[in-house]
Amino acid sequence: MHTHTNKSDGENLPEKVLNIYEKMGYTFLVITDHGIISDPDEYNTKLILFSGIEADCKGARHACIINMSKNNIIYSPEHSHQKLIDENINKGSIVVLNHPDWELKEHYPIDELYSLHNYHGIEIYNSVIERLSGTPLSSAKWDKLLSEGKKILGFANQDSHKQGDYLDCCNVVRIKNVTKKDIFESLITGNFHCYYGVEIIDVGRNGNEIFIKTKNAKLIRFIGFGGIVLKKIKSNEARIKFADDTVYRYIRIECLGVGEKISWTQPFFRE
């Protein structure tokens, strides 16, 4: 959902990028070059492609805009950040604010994330930042936003530019049919999880109880209000119940595996 080619600051031709992800076994992809709206109709590939762009908001902040159709993405480098979000939301796009903790001077200070509204989510992990300054992980900001009542999604993206960036950090959708429409609906409604090495077999909610089952997690953490760890268990599956306490306003799950393997669920809200 965040990929670059040599049409902007990437190293490879779009056709080569598509070939790489095909061979890696991906189902869908979004080319999000800087300032250029990608057109899936230009390419012959087995991948399901969406239109996308990494929008530069007056040269300062970056956001990915994703849509089923190129004609439904609106972009002008002169748009204010909020106008960019609002106009694309009105066109049915997915809007994700990118790499909040890129660079030593963080790309998105928390006060700015608080002040913006209507966006779908933020990148909670951006793997290209592993080789750049700053930190790839932004789950602390996610918890601050969720704790302020912003019901936003978390996305895990590669932001790939060159060889070495093509990893398995991605978003795994939960769909009945492998169609462009079903994938987009899954993403825009939050029916997916963020994957970086731990395979989630099932996750869901039965009334007041949240459950998860994984293939290879060694530790499961249930995170609540303010980033508090509500429960942790050394297992590949676990359950937790909402309680009548402030810290249970929402619950999200982190699944940790061997080494640096990790996956994240979307948050579940008590109300």
| 138 and 57 in a common domain | yes
Tell me, yes or no, whether 6 lies in a domain: no
pLDDT of the residue at 78: 87
Q: What is the pLDDT of residue 59?
A: 64
DSSP characters for 4-26?
Answer: --TTTT-SS-HHHHHHHHHHTT-
Residues 239, 129 share a domain: no
At 271, the pLDDT band (50, 70, 90 cuts) reads confident
Q: Are residues 208 and 129 in the same domain?
A: no
Same domain, 134 and 238: no
Residue written as token pair 């790939």: 160
Domain stop point among 196, 217, 250? 196
Report DSSP letters for 27-92, one per residue: SEEEB--BT----GGG---SSEEEEEEEEEETTTEEEEEEESSGGG----TTS-HHHHHHHHHHTT
In a domain, 228, yes or no: yes
Q: Give dist(CA 167, CA 96) in Å, integer.
A: 20
What confidence score (pLDDT) does residue 210 get? 99
The answer on 205 and 128 residing in a single domain is no
* Final residue belonging to a domain, choices 164, 196, 228: 196
The string of pLDDT tens digits covering residues 155-210 is 999 999 999 999 999 999 999 999 999 999 999 999 999 999 999 999 999 999 99
Q: Which of 152, 172, 196 is the last residue of a domain?
A: 196
- Structural domain harbouring 53: 14-196
Is residue 2 domain-resident? Answer: no
CA distance 82 to 46: 35
What's the confidence (pLDDT) of residue 103? 96
Residue 204 in any domain: the answer is yes
Count of structural domains within the chain: 2
Q: 191 with 209, same domain?
A: no
Residues 14-69: pLDDT tens digits? Answer: 999 999 999 999 999 999 999 999 999 999 999 999 999 999 887 689 999 999 99
Around 54, how many Cα atoms within 13 Å sit in the side-chain half-sphere?
25
CB 53 within 8 A of CB 72: no
Pair (121, 217) in one structural domain = no
Judgement on whether residues 52 and 131 belong to the same structural domain of the protein: yes
Is position 249 within any domain?
Answer: yes
Same domain, 58 and 167: yes
Q: Are 95 and 221 in the same domain?
A: no
Residues 79 and 19 in one domain: yes
Does 171 map to a domain? yes
- Full-model pTM: 0.97
Cβ count within 10 A of residue 260: 9
Task: Give 105-121 as a DSSP string.
Answer: TTSS-HHHHHH--S--E
Mean pLDDT of the chain: 97
User: 1 lies in a domain?
Assistant: no
Residue 187 resides in a domain: yes
Is the pLDDT higher at 78 or at 146?
A: 146
Together in a domain, 185 and 57:
yes
